Amino acid sequence: MVERAESESRKLLGRLRDTMASQAAGQERLDQITHLTADSMGTEVCSIYLFRDDETLELCATQGLNPESVHQTRMKLGEGLVGRVARTGKVINAADAPSAKGFRYMPETGEEIYSSFLGVPIQRLGEKLGVLVVQSKEAREFSADEIYALEVVAMVLAEMTELGAFVGEGAALRARHTQPVLIRGVTAQEGTAEGHVWLHEPRVVVTNLVADDPAKERARLTEAVENLRISVDQLLAVASGDSEQVQVLEAYRMFANSKGWMRRMEENIDRGLSAEAAVEKEQSDVRARMLQATDAYLRERLHDLDDLSNRLLRILTGQGNKTGAALPEDPILVARNIGPGELLEYGRQLRGIILEEGSVGSHAAIVARALAIPLVINAKRIQIEALNGDHVMVDGDQGVVHLRPDDTVVNAFRDKMAMQAKAQERYASIRDKPAVTLCGKTIRLDMNAGLMADLPSLESSGAEGVGLFRTELQFLVRSQMPKRTELAALYARVLDAAQGKRVVFRTLDIGSDKVLPYMAAEEEPNPALGWRAIRVGLDKPGVMRMQLQALLRAANGRPLSIMFPFIAQYDEYRLARAEVDKAVAREKKLGHTLPEKLEIGAMLETPSLAFASKRFYEEVEFLSIGGNDLKQFFFAADRENERVRRRYDTLNVSFLTFIEDIVARCAATNTRLSFCGEDAGRPVEALCLAAIGLHSLSMRPASVGPVKHLLRRCNLDDVRKVIHDARDAGEQSVRPAVMEYLRGLS
C-alpha cells in the first residue's frame, strides 16, 4: 500500500515537473495543475486559492467548480473552510463539508453538490501563500496518503510561486518581490538611510523539486547530513567556553542526529521529492507545528531548526553565504539577527541595518550606535520580503522600513533627508561655537563613544570631550578575554585621538543584555536587575584590576577620568575606589608613570544612589546620570519592552522633580554632575534638563549639533518657569507647555 502511494506520488510529481517545464503562461499552468491533481486523486474538484492581499483570498484556478467564478470568488482570512485553513495553517479534512464548523456556501461556484472537502495550506517556510482544495460528491474522509499527496502538490505550488511561475493579471497573480512594502519595526538607532538590500544570509533557492532516482537522492541526503554533523561537532569543539553558544549547538546536534528527522526526509524522497525539496518540506512542516506551540522553549527551538535546515540546504545546493553577488555601493544590511563581531566586519560601509529580531540593548544595537548607523529592529517579515539588490529606505527615527518604495514615498523620504542634510549644514556653522544660551549659561556638550572609529567625530561634531567611553565593546567583539597590553594600547590611542580633551572611561559594564561570549552566562529571572556591571566587577575583581592597570598605563602621565557603572550604594563606590588605590600603589611600586590628575566618578542609574548619604556626594569626584537605566527603574518600565517603554515620558513632572533633587544635592556638595543617555541627545529633552540645572550633557555625536542649535536660541530662565508653572498646574508632563513655548520662538 505504501509502495503504491509512493509510486502514485512520484507519478503525480513527474507530471507536475513537466508542467513546470512547459512554456505555458501563469494562468494556464495553474489550470493544468488543478486538472492533474483532480485526475490523480480521483476527485471531481481541485481548486487553488491565492492571497491577493494580506487579508483576502482569491479563487485563481479550478477543475470542477464554475469556471466563471475564477478571479471573482474572494473570501477574507478565516472566512469559510478555505479561510480557516489559510488562517490556521492546518489541514481541514471533512466528509460532510456543509455541516462542518465555519462552512460558507458560495453559490457562484456551484459547489453545493460536493460533500467531502480536503484543504491544505500553500506555504513556504511559514509564509502563507494560499490554499489548495480537493472536493468530491462522495461523503468520505481523505486518507493520510491522500493528504500527504496534496501537501506535496501544495509545496510545489509554493516553490513555483516563489520562482514566479504563475505571474499573470490581477493582484493574486502579480509577481512576487516586486510590490512596495511598508514594514513597521522599532527604532534602535536613529537616522535615515537610502540604499539597496544586502542579505546577511541569502535565502536558499530550491529549483529541482522532483527526482526520478530515490536511491541517489537518499545517498545525497545521507552524505550531506553527515557533513552537517561533522561541522556541528567542529563548532562545538571551538565553542567549548561559551555556554550560550554551546547550548544552541547542542540543540543543533540533537536535531542533526534525530532519527525521526532523517526518516521523515527519506520518506519525502521516496514519494518523489529531491533531497533539497525533502529537507524544505520537513522544515516547513515542523515550522508549522512549532509555531502553534505555546511552550516558549519549543518556539525558541524553531530558530535552531531553521538554522540547521538552512545549513543542510546550503550543503546540498552548494549555495553558501557567498553567492557571488557584489556588495552594493550603498548597502542596507538585512538579517534575522547579527553579532557585534560580524557587524564590525562590515563597519561604516553600511548605510543602514534592518533586523527581524533584536533589542534596543543588544550587542548589535550598541555597535550600530557606536558607528552611527540607522538601525530598525523587530522588522517582521523583512527576510521573507527582501531580495538582494532591492531598493530600500530606512527611517530609524520612526522605526519604519520602505522596501521597494513607490515614487511618492521616495520623493517624500528624499525631501526629509535633504532637510536633515540642510540642518546638518546649519549645525556645522556653529560647530566651533560654545553652547551658550540667551541667558548666558554655558552648557558642556560631550559625546558618547565605544570604538576608535568614533573618535574622528569628536572634532567634526563639535563635542567638547567624551563624556562616556564604553569599554565593554572591546570585550564583546572578541572570542577571548583581551590582554592587558592590548587594552592599554587601545586606551592610549583613544587618549591620543582626543588630543587633550577629557575622556571619561566607564569600566566594564557587562551582564544584563551584554554577556561576554567567553564567560558563563548566568540564568537570571530579571537580568537588568541582576548580576551586572560593578556587581560583577566587585565579585570577580581580577578583570577590573586588569582594566584599571591598563587605563593607568595608557594615561602615561596624562589626566585620567574613570567612572564605575551601576553603583547602587555608597559601599560599592568605596570598594571600587579602593581597587583604584591598590592599582595606583602597584603601578607606583613598579615605577610606572602615574596620571597627572586622576578623577574617579560613578554612574547614577538607580534611584537608591540619589538618596545616598551626604558623605558619598562629598567623596565622589563626579557623577553622571545614566538616563536610560534610571528612567526604566524610576517608572518600573523595562526599556526592552515595547508595550511599556514608550508609555512614560522623560518630561514627566515626577521624573524631572527627581532629577532636580539630584542636581540640588550635587550643588550642595559641589559635585560635578552630567546627564548621559538617549534623552541627552534629544533637543527638547536636553533643553529641559539644562533648564533644571544640568549643565553637562553627553550624547551620540550626531545629536550635538541639533542640541546646541536649540540651546543657543533659548533662555533657560524662561524654560524653567514654563516647567515649574506646568508642575504647579498639576500637569503630568511638561512637554505640551515647553512645545508651546518653542513654537513662540519661531
Task: Say which of 363, 402, 695, 714 is annotated catalytic.
Answer: 363
Contacts of residue 329, Cβ cutoff 8 Å, sequence gap at least 6: none
Long-range contacts made by residues 68-71, C-beta under 8 angstroms, separation at least 24? 68/108, 69/106, 69/108, 69/109, 69/110, 71/170, 71/172
Place of cell 541639533: 706
Asked about 177 being catalytic, the answer comes back as no
> What per-residue string of b and e applies to 630-646 under the rule 16 or more CB within 10 Å gives b?
bbbbbbeebbbebeebe
Kindly state the cell numbers that stand for 176: 512576487
Q: Which of 650-653's residues contact partners 24+ apart within 8 Å by CB, and which partners?
A: 650/679, 650/682, 650/685, 651/684, 651/685, 651/688, 651/733, 651/734, 651/735, 651/738, 652/732, 652/733, 653/726, 653/727, 653/731, 653/732, 653/733, 653/734
Residues in contact with 465: Cβ distance below 8 Å, sequence separation at least 6, in sequence order: 444, 446, 447, 458, 498, 501, 502, 503, 504
Sign of CA dihedral 678, 400, 348, 355: positive
Question: 71 an active-site residue?
Answer: no
* Catalytic pick among 676, 688, 695, 714: 676
Collect all residues with Cβ–Cβ distance below 8 Å to 425 and sequence separation of at least 6: none
Strands 56-63 and 74-76: antiparallel
Other beta carbons within 10 Å of 388: 17
Q: What is the grid cell recorded at 608?
A: 537608591
Pairwise CA distance, residues 257 & 156, whole Å: 27
Cα–Cα distance for residue pair 133/112, rounded to 1 Å: 15
Q: Is the dihedral of CA 711, 713, 714, 715 positive or negative?
A: positive
Burial of 425 (0-12, 13-18, 19+ CB in 10 A): exposed
Lookup: cell for 151 = 501537501
Alpha helices (runs of H) in 607-694, residue ranges in sequence order: 607-610, 614-619, 627-634, 642-645, 653-669, 683-691
Residues 6+ apart with CB under 8 A from 703: 680, 681, 682, 683, 686
Q: Which residues contact 415 (CB under 8 A, 6 or more apart)?
A: none
Indicate the pairing of strand 192-199 with strand 331-335: parallel
- Whose CA is closest to 133, among 76, 170, 96, 86? 86
Long-range contacts of 255-259 (CB under 8 A, 24+ apart): 255/304, 255/305, 255/308, 256/225, 256/228, 256/229, 256/232, 256/308, 257/229
The residue count for the chain: 746
CA-CA distance, 667 to 670, in Å (whole number)? 5
Q: Collapse the DSSP code of 730 into the 3-class scheme (helix H, G, I; strand E, B; otherwise coil) and give the result.
A: coil
- The DSSP symbol for 530 reads S
Which residues are tagged catalytic? Answer: 363, 676
